[in-house]
Structure 1
Amino acid sequence: MSLQFRLGFNDQKVVEDFLSRGPAATTAIVLDPKAGARQRPAVEAAAAGGVDVFWDPGTELLSYEGYGLEKFPMWSGAPYDLPQLATSLPARAELVDRTIATHPEGVTRVTAPHFFVNSPRSAALNIDLAEATVSQADRPVRAVLAIKNSYAKSAAGDLAAWYRASGVRQIELQLSPFGSEDESLRKIVDGFAVAQAFTDAGLHVTLGHSGNLGQVAVALGHASAYSVGVGMLERNNHALQVNRRSKPPKERTDEDTGGGPQAGVYLPALAYTATPSTALKLMQHSDLRVRIGCRVGRCGTNVRGPLLDPREHYLHSRDTEMARMMEQPAGWRSTAELERLRRALILRNRINRDYVAEGDPPLKTRTLDGLIEDIERVQAAS
C-alpha cells in the first residue's frame, strides 16, 4: 500500500526536498515525460531514501497531431502509426528498443511504451509491447494501461489475464475519464471493479491520477497504490489531454509569469484540492482557517499556511494522510476512510451554505457522496 507522485516539468527541487525528509507513505516517483533528464536531483534523493523511480515515455500522446510534441524524447518526427505498429513486428521491436534506451539514468523499473486502449486491437498492441519490453529490459518492467472506461468495464478480466501472461507484475491503471469531483456512484463502482480484476490476477495495481478515489480504492483493497501529480493530476481524461495539445500554445505576454499550470491547494479537512483563488477566499475566514489549515512544517507557523508553497504542502499533506490510513489494521481502513470522507462532506456542505459568495460555484459533493455510499455498501456486504 503506497502513494506515488508524478513530477511536473519543474517539480524536481520541491520533490528532492520532500524525499530528503523521509516520507512515510511514498514509495515511488514518476519522472516527467519531457524533463526526465533534468530531474536528476529528485532521482538521487529517491535512491538515497529507497524510493522507486519510474519514467513515463508519454507515447500515448504521440499518436496524434499536436503542438509541442517535438519536446518529448520519444517523438519520432511524426505521430506513431498504430495500424502499422499492429502489423509490423520490426516496427514494434524498434519502438521497444528506443523506449528502453531513452529511459533516464537511475530509473528502477522500465515503463513499456503504451497507447490509449479503446478496442481489442489497441489492447493487443499494448500487451504485445509490454511483453516485448519484459523480454528485452535489464530491469523489472511496469506497464501503463490508459483505457476508455466502457471498454475497461467489458474486458477487465481478459486484459488482466493477458498482462499477467505477458510477464508484467506491476501496472498503472489510468481509467478515462475518471476521478473528477462529479462522479456517479455507478461509475465509481465500475472503476473499482476494473481495478479489482487486475488485483485478483496477481498484479500490483496503481490506480493512476485518482486523488480521493485512489485512496479509497487502496483502503478497500482494490489497488495496492494510487498516483497523483504535485498539486494536480487527480483525475484522468485522455481526450481532454489530446485536445489541449491540438491547439497552438497561447502567446506569452509581459504579464505572464510562466511555469505552466498552477498547482492546486490541497485542503485535507475538505478532502479537496482547490484552485489558489478558491483556497485564498476560504482561508480569509478565520473560523474556517483553523479547520482547514495545516500544522506541518512551514504551514504551521504562518496564517497563510498551505498558500505559502502549495506544492510543498501538497506533498507532505498527501503523504501524511496516506500514512495515517496505512497505520490502521487492514480491517479498519475502510472505516477510517469513511469517517474522513464524512467529516469532509459535512464541512463542504457547511461552506456551501454559509461561506460561498454569491456568484461563486459551490464545492461539489457528488463524488464524496458516491464514495461514502460505496464504502457503506462494501461494509454491509462483509
Structure 2
Amino acid sequence: MSLQFRLGYNDQKVVEDFLSRSTAATSAIVLDPKATTRQRYAAEAAAAAGVDVFWDPATELLSYEGYELEKFPMWAGRRFDVAELATSLSARSALVEHTIATHPEGVTHLTAPHFYVESAHSAALNVDLAEATVRQADRPVRAVLVIKHGYARANAADSADMYVSAGVRQIELQLSPFGGEDESLTKIANGFAIAQAFTDAGLHVTLGHSGNLGQVAVALGHASAYSVGVGMLEHVNHKTQVNRRKNPPAERLDEDGNRLRQGGGAGVYLPALAFTATPNLAKKLLEHSDLRLRIGCRIAKCGNDVRGPLLDPRDHYLHSRDAEMGRMMEQPAGWRSTSELERLHRALILRDRINKDYVAPGDPPIKTRTLDSLIVDIERAQAAS
C-alpha cells in the first residue's frame, strides 16, 4: 500500500525537499518525460529515502502529431506509427532499445514503451513491447497501460493474464476517461473491478492519476498503490490530453509585454474536503474565519501561518497527501474501508455546508457526485464481506 507522485517539469526542488524529510507513505516518484537532467537531485533524494524512481517515456503521446513534441527525449523526428510497429519486429526492437537507452541515470525501474489501448491490436502491441523490455532489462520493469475504459471493462482478465505471461510484475493502470469529481457509481464500480482483475492476476497495480478514487481503491484492496501529480493529475482523459498538445496555447503577455508562462498551476488540496481546489477558490475558503480552522493544515510550514496551504500549494499537496495515506496504512486491513468511509462522509457533510452557506451567488458549487458514489461503493463492499 503506497502513494506515488508524478513530477511536473518544475517540481524537482519541492519534491527534493519533501523527500529529504521523513515520508509516511510515498513509495515512488515518476520523473517528467522532458526533465530528466533537471530532476537529477530529486532522484538522488528519493534514492537516499529508499523511494523508487521511475521515468515516463511518454511514447503514447508521441504517436500523434502535436505541439513541441521535439522537446521529448524519445522524439525520433516523426511520430511513432502504431500500425508499422505492430507489423515490424525490427521497428519494435529499435523502439525498446531506444527507450532503455534514454532512461536517465538514477532510475530504479525501467518503464516499457507503451501506446493507448482501445483494441485487441493495440493491446497485443503493448504486451509485446513490455515483454521485449523485460527480456533486455538489467533492472525491474514496470508497464504502463493507458487504456480505454470500455475496452478494459470487457477484457480486463485477459489483458492482465497477457502481462503476467510476458513477465511483467508491476503495472500502472490508467483508465481513460476516469476520475474527477463527477463520476457515477456504475463507472467507479466498473473501474474498481478492472483494477481487481489485474490484482487477482498477481500484478502489483498502481491506479494511475486517480486522486480519491485511487485512495479508496487501495483501501478496498483493488490496487496496491495509486498515483497523482503534484497538485494535479487526479484523473485520466487521454483524448483531452492529446488534443491539448495539437495546437500552441494563445500567447499571454503581462503589462510590460513579457510572455507569461502557459498552463495551469498546482491546485490546493483541502484534506477536510477531500478536494483539490483552484487557487482562487481555496483562497476564498481559507480566508473565511468560519472555515479556516476546519479546512486548514497544521503540518510543516502550513502550521506557521494562517494562510496555511496557500503559502506553497505544491509542498502542502505532497505532505498532506502523504500524511493522509500514512494514517490509512496504520489501520489494520479490516478497518481501512471504514476509515475511508468516515473520511468521505466528513468531507461530504462539509462540502454540502459550504455549497449551502458559503458559495457566492453565481459561483459553481463544489461537486459531490464522486464522493456520493464512493460512499455507496464502500458500503456495498462492506455489506458483501
Task: Name the CA distance, whole Å, in 2 between partners of 1:8 and 1:319.
Answer: 17
Question: 1:121 aligns to what?
Answer: 121
Tell me the equivalent position of 1:234. Answer: 234
Q: Secondary structure at 2:74's aligned position in 1?
A: coil
Alignment of 1:64-79 (within 5 A): 64-79=64-79
Q: Distance in 1 between matches of 2:340 and 2:148?
A: 27
Structure 2 unaligned segments of length 5 or more: list them: none
Among residues 349, 353, 356, which one is paired with 1:353 in the alignment?
Answer: 356
Q: Which of 258, 266, 273 is 1:270 aligned to?
A: 273
Aligned partners of 1:252 and 1:373: how far apart in 2?
44
Kept in 1, the 8 Å contact 2:134–2:168? The answer is yes
Query: What is the CA-CA distance between 1:283 and the residue it aligns to?
Result: 1.0
Given that 1:176 and 1:238 are in contact with CA atoms closer than 8 Å, whether structure 2 keeps it comes out as yes
Counterpart Cα distance in 1 of 2:7 and 2:23 = 16
- The equivalent of 1:331 in structure 2 is 334
**Greater than 4 Å deviation, 4+ residue runs:** none
How far has the Cα of 1:257 moved from its partner? 4.4
Q: After TM superposition, list the pairs within 5 Å mapping 1:73-222 onto structure 2.
A: 73-222=73-222
C-alpha displacement of 1:65: 0.7
TM-score, scaled to structure 2: 0.98
Map of 2:42 onto structure 1 = 42
d(CA) in 1 for partners of 2:85 and 2:38? 30
What are the equivalent positions in structure 2 for 1:301-340 lying under 5 Å apart? Answer: 301-340=304-343
Contact 1:144–1:173 (CA under 8 A) maintained in structure 2: yes
Q: CA deviation at 1:297?
A: 1.1
Q: Please give the alpha-carbon distance, in whole angstroms, between the structure 2 residues aligned to 1:166 and 1:219.
A: 28
Q: 2: CA distance between counterparts of 1:250 and 1:72?
A: 21
The count of corresponding residues between Structure 1 and Structure 2 is: 382
After TM superposition, the score normalised by the length of structure 1 is 0.99
Q: Tell me how far 1:262 sits from its aligned partner.
A: 0.5
Counterparts of 1:253 and 1:281, CA distance in 2:
26
Match of 1:297 in 2: 300
Write out aligned runs for 1:13-32 (5 A): 13-32=13-32
- Cα displacement (A) at 1:236: 0.5
RMSD in angstroms over aligned alpha carbons?
Answer: 0.8
Do 1:228 and 1:234's aligned partners in 2 also have CA atoms closer than 8 Å? yes
Structure 1 residues 226-246: Cα deviation after superposition (integer angstroms, max 9, x where no partner): 000000000010000000001
Amino acid paired to 2:161: A
User: What's the CA shift for 1:369?
Assistant: 0.2
- What secondary structure sits across from 2:189 in the alignment? helix
> SS of the counterpart of 1:37?
coil
Give ranges in structure 1 of 5+ residues lacking alignment: none
Secondary structure of 1:105's aligned partner: coil
